[in-house]
Structure 1
Amino acid sequence: MGSTHSWKWTSYLPLQCASHSVRLRSQYNNQSSPWMQKTLPGIQEQDIRIFPEDQIREVNSTVTFCCIVPKGKSFSRMYLKRYEGTIINTKKISEHVHTLTVHLDQESENWSDVICNTTTGNSSGVCFHAGYPPGESDLQCETRDLDSIDCVWNVGKKTNEYPLIARKYHLEGRLCNDVKSGKCSQKLPVEAGERNWTLTVENPLGKLELHDTADLTRRVHMLAPQDVVASTVNARNLSLKWSWTVQKYSHLNLTCQVDVRDREANATTENFGVGLTAAVINSLRPFWDYNVRVRCGTAQHFWKWGDWSPSVTIRTKRDVPDALDVWMKVKDDRTVITWKKPLASQSHGDILGYEVAWAKTKEKNQPNKTEVPSSNYSLALQLDPSEDYTIMVTARNINGSSLPSTITVPRRNPVSDKPKVNTSWINGSNGGFTLSWSHSPDATCGYIVDWCPAFGDCTVEWLKVPPNRTNARILSENFKDGLRYLLSISACTEGAPMLLHRREGYIRETKIEGELFKLHVDPKVSDVEVSWDPIPLEKQTAAIQGYVLYYYDSGSIFNMSTENPEATRLTAKNLNISTYTFTLTAQTALGLCGNSSTSITLNPSADNLIMLILISLVAVFIVLSTITILCYKHWA
C-alpha cells in the first residue's frame, strides 16, 4: 500500500501495428475492484509503413514485421530481400494491417530488408540484421617482455558482423584497438603475484566478461633471440651466440633449444643458464651445410617455448674422409676388392683418389700398394689361393687420408672338415628380397649380405647388418625383373668373413619369350630320343621346374614330361612309321613357355627292307624264266 507497482509485457506485434489494451483490477479480502482499462491505439499513416524499423536481432530468434497500408490502398505482398531465413507465415490482422513472421535461422551478411507492396505499385521497406551476442570463452593471459600483457581467447561465433554491431573489447578497462583472431595486448606493468585479469566484450545483443587469474611472471612467452651467429666453426662442432632485445631476460633462468637441420634430418639440443646467450653444438659432419635456429623459455615455472629465431646457414670445416665400406668378390683366380662410393656426408670434400694395400696375413713385411683413381671403386687382384691376405683401403681428399678399412681374404683351399654351404630358393616380393637366417656365434661384428646376378661379371652390392639382427630387407635400384640373383650371407668375424648361407631367386619372374631350345632328334627303330643343350641362366627369365615334350602325327597327340630341371633329353617310345612333330616346352611358375619344334619321318626297319628286296628279286626271276621258256619254244 502506498507504493508504485509496475507490470511489463512484450507483444509479438509492434505496438504501432494495432491497438493494444490492458485491464487491471485489485483484489482484497475476496473483494475485487472494478476493471480499469488502458488502450494504446495503433497509428494511422498516410503512406505505407513497416514496423519495427532497423532491428538488430539474435540468430535463432523469431520476429514479426507488420505492414500498415493507408486508407484507399490495398495490400499486395510482403517479402524478404538479401536474406534466406525461414518465413513462418503471413497473416492479415485487419484490412490495412498485414504481418510477416520470420525465423532468423542464419546470420545476415549485411543489412537485410523487408519489403511491402500495394496493388498500385507503392512500396516501403525496413532493414534488419541477424547476428550473435558475444560468445567468447577461455581467456588466457601471458607476458612477452614483462612490461605488457598479451591475452588470447576463443572467439566463438563471430562472422560477417556489420560494423554497427561489431563487438568492442576492453582489457583491464582499456579499449583494444587492434583485435585480431582473439588477441589483445596492453602496456601494463607485470609484477610478481597472482591477480585477476578481465576482458569485457560488448555488442548491441549482449555483454560478457571473461576472467583469468595468474601470476604473469610465471607465464613468460619469450620473444625470438636476435642476431644468431656462429662465433666458432670447426669440422665437427661449432659455437653459437645471440642477443636479446628485452633486457629483463638477462635476469631469467633460461632453457634454450637449438634446432640443427641439414638436407637429411634434424636434431634438437637443449642448454640451460641465466640470461643464456650462447650454445655449443657437437657431433656435426665436416664440410656440411646446416640450418640453425634457437628458441628459449623460462627454466623455472616453464610456461611455453618462445618464438624461433630466423634460421642461419653454417658450413662446417673440412676433414679427412670417413672410413670406407669395403667388401670383396672372389671368382675363379681373381679377387675383386670393392668399396662404396663415399656420400657427400662421408667424403668431407672432393675425393682425390684411393689407396689399396695388401699383404699375406702371416707376413709382417711392407705390403704391396697401388693407387686407384677417384672414379673407380674396385680393384682386381691376383692372389695366391693357398694364403690368407689382409687388404686395407683408404680414401684421400685435400685434408688427408681416411682411417684404413680392413678386410681379410681367406685361402681358397678346400678344408675337408668344413661343411658345404647349400643354396636354397627365395622368392622376391615388392621389388626386393626379404631374408632371415639363424644366429651365428661366429658373427662377432655382424653379418654381410651381398648379391649379384647369378651369371656373368657384375658389380657386387652388399648390406651390413648388426650382430643383434638376423633379418634384412634387400632393395636396390639395379634390380631387374626376369633376372636370377645369387645372394650370400656371411658372418663378420675378427678374421676372414665366414659364408653361412646362399639364396637364389628372382625379384619377379617373367615369361620366357621365343624359342628356347636347340633340339636334336635321334631315331632308334620305333623310339625317338629328343635332346637339347643346357639352357644358359641368362635366357631363363623364370625358373625352369621341368620339361614337357609333345609329339603328334596326323592322327594323335602324345606328351611326356620330367620334373628334373637339369634334364637334357626325353625319349618317345613305340612310335608308328609316320611323320612326327616334336615340341619341347619349359615348365615354369608362369606356365609353359619357350616352345621349340622339329619334325622327323620314321622309315621301315632294315629286316623288312631286305625281305622286300628278296621277294622282288624272286618275282623278277620267275617272270624272266617264264619269258625265256616261252621264247625258246616258239623261237621260230
Structure 2
Amino acid sequence: MPFLSVSPNSKPNRRFWHIGVLLCIWALNSHAEIVLTVPHKVSLSADTSTQQLSISWFGGESNTFDILVLRTEFNETVFYDTVSATMNQISGRHEWKWTSVEPLECTSLSIKIRSRDGKKTSEWSEIQILQGKDIPGNGGLQMYPQDRIVLVGTNTTFCCIVEEGKVFVGMTYSSTAMEVKRLSRRSYATTAVNQGPSRFWGTNVICRAKSAANPVNGAVIFVGYPPQPTNFTCETHDLISAVCSWNIGKDTHLYGKGRQTLYSVNKRNCSVDKALDCIFPHWDGNWTLVAVNPLGQYSLTDSAEISHRVSPVAPVNLNSAVQAFNATLVWKWEYDGYSSLPLVCQVELTTDGHKTKRVFSGVGLHSVVLLDLQSDEDYSVRVRCGAQQNFWKWGKWSDQFHFKTKTYVPDAPDVWVFMNGDNTGLILWKPLTRQQSHGQITGFELTLWNLEENVQHTEILPAETHSLPVNLAQMTSLSNGSKVIASVMAKNVEGFSEPASVPLHFIGVEPHSLSRVVYTDSGFPLFWQQSANSTCSYVVEWHNVSCSQDCPVDWIRVAAGITNVSIESVNFQPGVRYNFSLYSCPSDSPQLLQRWQGYVQELVPSSSVPLSVSQQDSDVILTWGEIPLADRRGFLLGYNVYINNGSQLALLANLTDVGKRTYTMKGLSGGSYKFTVKAYTSAGEDTGTAAYITVESYTDGLILEMLASLGIVVILLVIVIIVCYKKRKWVKRAFYPDIPEPKLPSDWSRTQGPLNVKPSPHSMVHIVEKPERDSSKEALVVILEEEEDDQGQRIGDEPVDTDEPQSLRYYDQVVDERPIRPRFPDSSVSSAFSLDSASTDVTYTGIQTSGSSLVFQLDPPGSSEIHQPQMDRAVSSGHGAGGYRPQTHRMALNDDMGFASSEPLLEPEAANGGGYKPQCSWHLDSPTEASERGSLAPSLGSPISVASTQFLLPDGEEHAQEKGQLSSAATWFTNLLSSTKP
C-alpha cells in the first residue's frame, strides 16, 4: 500500500488549515445572528362537547412554544406553559390542543403564543380572543354544560351566566348548595367533586338569579360506567342453530336514547328489543360480543363444539297413567333430533308443599314410571332434561302437570292399652295419617277376645273415636290368669285394614326406683339396660302425672336392641310433670321395666301450702299440708319459713326435707306474730302462705318454776337442819361453846323446887377493894341476854316461861369514868356504882326461876333525861371513902305495871361514904308483893341478894346499838343448843 507523506512545510496543507478556521468563524457569526420567528396567523377552534380548544399557527422551524391563556375580562391567567407543538406537514402550521376545566362557553378567553429556543424567546403573537357566552349581546340566564355524560368519580365544573344588570343568587347540585367562583361580571362557576352515579333521569344542577324574566335555569348531567357484560355463551337447542346470550353485568346508570349500551355479536347488531341474546341459523364455533356506550366499550369471546353445548327444550304434552302407589308419566319433544339423543331427565314431584326430585335416563327419553307414591294423594309434576353425554346444563322445565293416586285399604293402626291398676284400662290407638289411611277413614272395629274362654266382644266405632274404656272383670275371671287380646281394624271405602292387637294382661311389677330425667334441646333422653336374653322390642309410654284415671297417653315403639331414645312431642307443656314408662315385649306380655319423671321446664308453684299455726306452752308450731301435684309445676326442693319483721321477711329455717312439713319456734314471748311458709322449686319460691298468732304469756310455767325453786330451797333447808342436828355437838362447840359454871367458895348447889321469892336478908358479901387499881383496867360485867320475838321486839315486857333458865353472859369489861347506859330502862335508876371501886371477887350464878315470871318495864319517854342526873350524882358520890352500902329503898309498883317514882331513894351515908355503890333501884321479886298489887313481879331478886338477877353494872354505850337486834330465831337456836347440854 502506498504511503502518503505530508510535509508540514508544504503549501497545500496550510491552505486546508486556513479554510477550516474561516469556516468556524463564519458558523459562529451565523448562529449569533439567528432571530426566532414570531408565531403568526394564530387560529382558534373550540369543541364545546369535550371542552377542547385547538390552536394552530405559523411559527417557523421552532417546535417549542410558550402558550398563555387569559380570561379576557378580568385578565386572569388560566393557563401558561411551554409546550411542544407538532407541525402539520401538509398545511405547515403548528397545532396544539388544550382542554379547559371550565366550559368554553363560560367566558371569553385571550390566547397568545411565542416561540422558544432554550432561554431565548420571540415576541408574543397577536392576541386571539375566543368569544364566550357572557358577551353583552347575549341575554337571559344561561347554564353550561348541558346533558353532559361523565364517568363516576370525575369532577365537573358548571357555570351560570346571568343577564346584564341582574343579581346572581346561587347554584345547587342535586339540591346541595355549592361554592361559587366568579369568572367575569356575568359568569359564575362551581365544581362538583367525585360525582356518584346518577339516577335514571340524571342529576340536576340549578342556577338562580334575581330580577330576571326567567330566574331559574339548569343543566342535567349523567354520571355512569362503561359497559361490562358477563357470561357470554353460545349453545344449541335444536342441534343445528346457535343461540348466544350474556348478562348485562354491572349497571351503567346510563339510560335513554344516545346513552344506553349497544351490543353486537360477530359485528351483527343484537340490540333489537333490548334482548340479551342473539340467534344464528348455523353453528359458527367462534363468537365475539362487543358492548358500547358513550363512556367506553367492552368485548367478550366464546368458542365450542355443538355437541358440548346442547341445552334441550322443555318437554311438552305431559300425561299420566295413575295407580294407588305408582304412576306412568309421558311427554313429547319439539324436535325430531331428540329421538336419537341420549338424555338424562329430572322429574320433580310436589305433594303437600313437599318437593322431591327423581332422575331418569335413556336415548330419546319420553316416559318414566313413578313408584312408591302415596295412595289417594294429589301430586304435581314437571320435567327437564339434558344431554347425557358431554352434559352442558339442564334444559328448561316443562309446565306443571297434576294427577291423583287411587285409594287403598288402610294400614293397621298403632294400638296400646293404659291400665289403671284396678282391672280397668283404656284401649288407645293413634289416628292414621293421610299416608296411612290411603283414603277417607269411615270407622274402626274393636274386638276383645278371651283366648281361653273363647269369648269375643266387638264394637263398631266412628272415625273420630281413638280410645275405649275396658273392664277386665266383666270379661273373665282373673284368678285363672286368662289372657285377653284387644284388636283394632280401620275401615275406608276400600275395606278393613289388618288387625292390630295388644294383650290386656300386664305383669305389674313396679320398678324399685323412679328416676328423674332432665329435658334437653332434643327432648327427654331415656336410657336403660338391655337384658341379655331379651329379643323383644319396647314401648315407651308417657302421660301427665296429675292424671290418675283414663289419661290421655302417648307412646312410641322402639326396635329390639336399642337401649336409648329421646322423647319429643308438640304436646309437652312447661310446668307439667310427665311419667315415662318402659315396657318390653308389647305384643306378647308387656312387662314394666323402668319409669322416669321429668318436666320440660320447671316453674314456681302455682299455689301455696295450706298453713296452720298453734301454740304449745311458749312454743309456736307451724304445720302445713302438701301442694297438689298439678300445682307444684316442678320438683319441690324444700320449704322456707319466714317471720315478718314489719315489711321485711326474715328467714327462720330452710327445710330441705320435703317430707317434713312442720316447724317449731321455741321460747316466744307474749305478743302477735306473723309467719310465712313458701315452697320452692329450681325455678324459685311460690307466693307463700301467711299465718297469724297471738302468743299468750305462759303463767303455768312460771308457777312451776317458782314451786320448783321453793322446793329446792326447802330441800336445802331440810338438809341443812338434818346436818346441823346430826352434828349439833360439833356446831355447839364451834359456834356456842359451854360457859363454865362459876366456882363458888361454898356449896351453892340447889335442888329443883319452887323458889320462895321473899325479900332476903342482907348477905354477907366480902368486897375486896383495890382503890389503887387503874380505872382503865378491865372489870367483870355480867349482862343478862335478851330475847326478841319475830318482829324484833324484846320480850322483856311479856310473861316468860319460868321453867326456862336465864342465861348470863360474862364480859371482861374495862371500867372507865364515863357513865354506862343501863341495859334495861329501869337499870339507870336502880343501879349506880363508883368508878373508883375496884373489881370484886363476886361470882353470880344463873337462877332457875320457878313459879314466877320476870317482867321488865320499859322506861317511859323522857326517862333517860331524868335518870341521867341521878346517875351523875351516884357516880360523883363514889369518890368519898366508905364501903359497900346496899340499897335500902325500893321502888313501889303502881297498878299499871309501872313504877311509882322514877327517882331512887338514896341512903344519906351513901352520898358521903366511899366504896362500892350498888344499883339505886331494883324491881321487886317477891311473888307475894306482886300478888298483892295484882300483877306479876317485874323482877326477881335484889341487888343485895346472892340470888338476885339484877345487874350490878349497866351496859356501856358501845352495847346500846345491839338492843332489839337479837331475833327469836337466835333464841330458839340457843335453846336448842342448851337443851343438848348434858
TM-score under structure 1 length normalisation: 0.75
Aligned position for 2:413: 324
Alignment of 1:268-283 (within 5 A): 268-283=357-372
Structure 1 position 312, deviation (Å): 2.8
Contact 1:50–1:124 (CA<8 Å) still a contact in 2?
Answer: no
Aligned position for 1:172: 266
Aligned position for 2:256: 162
Indicate whether 1:225 and 2:339 are aligned.
no
Structure 1 position 247, deviation (Å): 4.0
Aligned position for 1:354: 444
**C-alpha distance 536-34 of structure 1, shift in aligned 2 (>3 A):** closer
Q: Which has the higher contact order (CA 8 A, sep 6+)?
A: 1
Match for 2:428 among 330, 338, 345?
Answer: 338
Alignment of 1:227-626 (within 5 A): 227-229=317-319, 231-263=320-352, 265-332=354-421, 333-359=423-449, 369-383=458-472, 384=478, 386-387=481-482, 389-412=484-507, 420-427=511-518, 434-438=524-528, 440=530, 442=534, 444-445=536-537, 447-457=539-549, 458-465=551-558, 468=562, 470-477=564-571, 479-491=572-584, 495-512=588-605, 516-517=609-610, 519=612, 536-538=628-630, 540-546=632-638, 563-567=656-660, 585=677, 587-589=679-681, 590-591=684-685, 595=689, 597=691
Contact 2:583–2:593 (CA<8 Å) still a contact in 1?
Answer: yes
Deviations 1:558-589 (A, max 9, x none): 9677544334666677788x798796835322
Letter in structure 1 aligned against 2:525: L
How far apart, in 1, do the equivalents of 2:483 and 2:391 lie?
A: 63
Structure 1 position 339, deviation (Å): 0.9
Letter in structure 1 aligned against 2:498: L
Contact 2:428–2:468 (CA<8 Å) still a contact in 1?
Answer: yes
Structure 1 position 233, deviation (Å): 0.8
How far apart, in 2, do the equivalents of 1:405 and 1:106 lie?
A: 75
2:298 counterpart SS class: strand
Structure 1 position 404, deviation (Å): 2.8
Indicate whether 1:11 and 2:103 are aligned.
no
**C-alpha distance 190-444 of structure 1, shift in aligned 2 (>3 A):** farther
Contact 1:141–1:212 (CA<8 Å) still a contact in 2?
Answer: yes
How far apart, in 2, do the equivalents of 1:351 and 1:579 lie?
A: 73
Aligned position for 1:90: 181
Letter in structure 2 aligned against 1:393: V
Larger Rg: 2
Structure 1 position 376, deviation (Å): 1.8
Deviations 1:587-635 (A, max 9, x none): 32232655364869798779989x99xxxxxxxxxxxxxxxxxxxxxxx
Contact 2:606–2:631 (CA<8 Å) still a contact in 1?
Answer: no
How far apart, in 1, do the equivalents of 2:194 and 2:622 lie?
A: 94
Contact 1:225–1:295 (CA<8 Å) still a contact in 2?
Answer: yes
Letter in structure 2 aligned against 1:503: W
Structure 1 position 14, deviation (Å): 5.7
Match for 1:41 among 118, 129, 146?
Answer: 129
Deviations 1:196-241 (A, max 9, x none): 2122222333333322223354233333322323x21111111112
**C-alpha distance 120-314 of structure 1, shift in aligned 2 (>3 A):** closer
1:9 counterpart SS class: strand
How far apart, in 2, do the equivalents of 1:50 and 1:602 lie?
A: 108
How far apart, in 2, do the equivalents of 1:579 and 1:116 lie?
A: 93
Structure 1 position 283, deviation (Å): 1.3
Aligned residues: 588
How far apart, in 1, do the equivalents of 2:366 and 2:453 lie?
A: 55
Contact 2:342–2:363 (CA<8 Å) still a contact in 1?
Answer: yes
How far apart, in 1, do the equivalents of 2:150 and 2:508 lie?
A: 100
TM-score under structure 2 length normalisation: 0.51
Contact 1:585–1:592 (CA<8 Å) still a contact in 2?
Answer: no
Aligned position for 2:793: none
Letter in structure 2 aligned against 1:226: V
**C-alpha distance 382-174 of structure 1, shift in aligned 2 (>3 A):** same
How far apart, in 2, do the equivalents of 1:498 and 1:43 lie?
A: 112
Structure 1 position 272, deviation (Å): 0.9
Contact 2:171–2:208 (CA<8 Å) still a contact in 1?
Answer: no
Alignment of 1:44-59 (within 5 A): 46-47=137-138, 55-59=148-152
Structure 1 position 285, deviation (Å): 1.2
RMSD: 4.7
Letter in structure 1 aligned against 2:417: M
Structure 1 position 377, deviation (Å): 1.1
Structure 1 position 311, deviation (Å): 2.2
Structure 1 position 327, deviation (Å): 2.0
1:201 counterpart SS class: strand
Aligned position for 1:207: 297
How far apart, in 1, do the equivalents of 2:566 and 2:272 lie?
A: 60
Alignment of 1:173-188 (within 5 A): 173-178=267-272, 180=274, 183-188=275-280
Indicate whether 1:142 and 2:235 are aligned.
yes
Contact 1:550–1:558 (CA<8 Å) still a contact in 2?
Answer: yes
**C-alpha distance 18-593 of structure 1, shift in aligned 2 (>3 A):** closer
**C-alpha distance 534-14 of structure 1, shift in aligned 2 (>3 A):** closer
Determine what percentage of the aligned residue pairs are the same residue: 25
Higher strand share: 1
Contact 1:54–1:126 (CA<8 Å) still a contact in 2?
Answer: no
1:341 counterpart SS class: coil
How far apart, in 2, do the equivalents of 1:156 and 1:515 lie?
A: 70
Which runs of 5 or more residues in structure 2 are unaligned?
Answer: 1-86, 473-477, 645-649, 708-982
Which deviates further from its counterpart, 584-593 or 82-91?
82-91
